[in-house]
Amino acid sequence: MKVNMLELRPVKKPLELNNPPKADKKNMLEKKVKKLRRHRRVRAKINGTAETPRLCVFRSNQYIYAQIVDDEKGKTIANAKGDLKSAKEVGIEIAEKAMAQKIVKIVFDRAGYKYHGRVKSLAEGAREKGLKF
């Protein structure tokens, strides 16, 4: 540690070395706000009914969740969960549960996520088993 001999106190490092800019927090906050805006925009256009319920997707860091919701009653009809590597299997599982309850046609709610990667593979797995979007 360097010491200023005139004032006998430690010399601070330059600001950018001592305290890195808080850009990461700001970027993360902006990312969350953008996702919420996309989710609201999607949900404004999508509504699940008893005839065509909504297939909602949630993606965390470890798992992917899918549930079929009847928005008129506010009830979850079916749900499925799996790790991120098996997103297609989750889509197949949720489709089988929907078919067991005689649901063939649904509305896909991507919840603000891009229709790409794991969300896309979940949707493709559901389509393979016969769900119609």
Q: Which residue would you say has higher pLDDT here, 37 or 8?
A: 37
Determine phi and psi for 49, rounding to 5 degrees: -120, 180
For the domain 47-133, what is the CATH code? Answer: 3.30.420.100
All structural domains of the chain with their residue ranges: 47-133
How far, CA to CA in Å, does 98 sit from each of 1, 46, 94, 106, 126? 67, 19, 6, 9, 10
Residue 55: band (very low, low, confident or very high) from pLDDT cuts 50, 70, 90: very high
CB 29 within 8 A of CB 98: no
Residue 46: helix, strand or coil by DSSP? coil
Residue 82: band (very low, low, confident or very high) from pLDDT cuts 50, 70, 90: very high
Residue 15: band (very low, low, confident or very high) from pLDDT cuts 50, 70, 90: very low
pTM equals 0.74
Each residue's pLDDT tens digit, 103-131: 999 999 998 899 999 999 999 999 999 99
